[in-house]
Chain A
Amino acid sequence: MTFSTIQSIIDEIKSGRTSATAIVEATLADIKARDGALGAFLETFDADALAQAAAIDALVKNAKENGGELPPLAGVPVAIKDNMLYTGHKATACSKILAEHTATYNSTVVERLIAAGAIIIGRTNMDDAAMGSSTETSAWQKTYNPWNITKIPGGSSGGSAVAVAAGFVPVALGSDTGGSVRQPAAMCGVVGVKPSYGRVSRYGIIALGSSLDQVGVFSHTASDAALILSVIGGRDEHDATSVEKAWGVIGEPSMNGLRVGVPKEYFVDGMDEEVRSRISEAIELMKQAGAEIVDLSLPLTPFALPTYYIIQPAEASSNLGRYDGMRYGTRAPGSLEESYINARGQGFGPEVKRRIMLGTFILSAGYYDSYYKKALAVRTAIRAEFDDAFKHVDVILSPTAPGVAWNMGEKMNDPVAMYLADIFTVAANIAGIAGISIPCGFAHNLPVGLQFLAGSMQDEKALQAAAAYQSITSWHDQHPVV
């Protein structure tokens, strides 16, 4: 097992000390040997990955003989979440209703990774249709936290988090609708980034909540995540919400003069005391390193999660309307109406049904104004509150989650308890701003995540702050033994 950074892999390949083929063979062998106990991967794309590697090795040989540049991610193995389309491969969103779904085109993120020389190693486990905070609602398998296999890995992108945390791949993609990259990153002790709304194309990603979804990155360092985002980000004509804004380079990391806002509402009663201590220690360390700590108040914070659990089920129930066994999935017998009802009844898991029912109820006549319209108004106010705060600070700091990874099965019968795990991450999706979780120590022998938020389109500030924190700490160099 190796915990390489992207840069070290690229250097090894460019220098000729190793080949892309050797890296891919070792990665595939490692996954076969160790992932049985963790369940991060649903499938590895052995033949395509080896073919991609051979093509990279040919490029390296040609560059050596005739000169020329190599693509920026030449030979870097990447894992993708099971809701991202990769031509010719299954993409099921870990939902029974898409069990037989094979992608007929590439998602933009996969297309751009391949064009940059990255190698798509395999697809990872996730919650059913990305609904869940523990990866336990997956229709296919369980994924276990590599720090303690009796614990959940977080979710919904739990497989991708574990793929990086366990050292299988240096980087993996996830999607973050309410914290589905940052929360599992925190639980597994890796970096997880959710970009601002519009900075990465969602074309070819199986949609959950279209005004909330963003593609995110798992890695060991903020600078590795920044490198990946510079490749996958930017305008895409296939996603009308994507914006024309190149990713800036992360400069020399420094805490000096960084204005860090600490909102008191993110340090709530009932949060784990050890988690609170780790965050306080991190704040103290940043202060000593020259950061200016600014006490903030964001009074609407307690309303972010209720806002989210109106908007997200409403959008999910609309987005999932297309899964009726007609164009995708398995056709159920009967008349048109019977076929719809049966295909959906048999294909969706309990959490998905719950959210479709909630969303349908919320959008139904008589309830639309009091739930959905009200939530949109509060959402507007939450965004305004953040915009105001970012006039005074560069980044906002908070815990990523109120506790550490919990026991497998613990919250499966209490949806509200499960939803509360996302209490500190949903605001970034509600407001469309940037967020990153980075490791900041341990509580109860499990990783703790610290979150930096930055204003809309100011993602580089969050990455810069994270890189600065990582330059004065070594939590990201600690790895589980599995």
Chain B
Amino acid sequence: MIIDIDHVAKLAHLQLSADEKTKLAEQMPAILEYVSRLQEVDTSAISTKDYFTEAFNVLRADDIVIIDQVEHDALITAFPVSAAGALQVPGVFE
């Protein structure tokens, strides 16, 4: 199996070195070959469940929670870059 490493890295937003790309080009097919043995299992009669939690339709009130200044400041301080009490990010639109 040949995997387009550059394409997958682009989808994953990952910068990879040449060495990392070479390694992944070897290792990913080996792992995918190992997991491909699932094709041996006949699942034609199975109605697949996406999850197994016993919880069902878990809802909560859609209330606005007001946090105090200390908590607010702690959150802002935790951001890598902030300005004027808000998270600062690079421009999304050019």
Contact = CB atoms under 8 A, between A and B. Distances in A.
B43 A377 contact: yes
Interface in A322-351: 324-331, 334-337, 339-342, 344-346, 348, 350
Interface centre among B20, B27, B71, B75 (most CB of A within 10 A): B27
B78 A360 contact: no
B55 A336 contact: no
Interface string A83-111: 00000000000000000111010000000
A70 B14 CA distance: 51
Contacts of A361: 3, 8, 28, 32
A379 B9 CA distance: 28
Contact of B8 (A240, A324, A360, A375): A360
A371 B79 contact: no
Nearest to B49: A380
B46 interface: yes
B48 A377 contact: yes
Contact of A344 (B14, B36, B58): B14
A243 B54 contact: yes
A373 interface: yes
B12 interface: yes
Nearest to A317: B12
Contacts of A324: 13
Contacts of A326: 80, 87, 89
Nearest to A341: B15
A353 B14 contact: yes
A243 B55 contact: yes
Contacts of B74: 104
Contacts of B31: 309, 354, 358, 415-416, 419
A237 B43 CA distance: 36
Given A306-B34, A309-B34, A340-B13, A104 B90 contact: no
Contacts of A346: 15
A108 to B, nearest CB: 15
Interface residues of B, number: 51
A329 B15 CA distance: 16
A303 B58 contact: no
A402 interface: no
A457 interface: yes
B46 A381 contact: yes
B39 A336 contact: no
Contacts of A345: 14-16
B92 interface: yes
B28 A357 contact: yes
Contacts of B43: 374, 377-378, 381
A342 to B, nearest CB: 6
Interface in B29-64: 30-32, 34-41, 43, 46-55, 58, 60
A260 B26 CA distance: 43
Given A317-B12, A344-B15, A356-B12, A237 B60 contact: yes
B20 A350 contact: yes
Contacts of A344: 12-15
A101 B49 CA distance: 36
B34 A348 contact: no
B90 A211 contact: no
A240 B55 contact: yes
B14 A348 contact: yes
A198 B56 CA distance: 12
Interface in A263-310: 300, 302-303, 306-307, 309-310
Contacts of A378: 38, 41, 43
A376 interface: yes
B85 interface: no
B11 interface: yes
Contacts of B89: 326, 336
A354 B27 contact: yes
Contacts of A243: 53-55
B80 A242 contact: no
Interface of A: 100-102, 104, 197-198, 211, 237, 240-243, 300, 302-303, 306-307, 309-310, 317, 321, 324-331, 334-337, 339-342, 344-346, 348, 350, 353-354, 356-358, 360-361, 364, 370-371, 373-381, 383, 415-416, 419, 431-432, 456-457
Question: Nearest 7 A-B pairs (CB), nearest first?
Answer: A345-B15, A377-B43, A432-B52, A240-B58, A331-B80, A360-B12, A306-B35
23 contacts: A104-B74, A198-B53, A211-B52, A237-B60, A310-B35, A324-B13, A331-B80, A335-B90, A336-B92, A337-B13, A340-B13, A342-B15, A344-B13, A356-B12, A357-B9, A358-B31, A360-B11, A361-B8, A361-B28, A376-B48, A380-B49, A381-B41, A383-B52
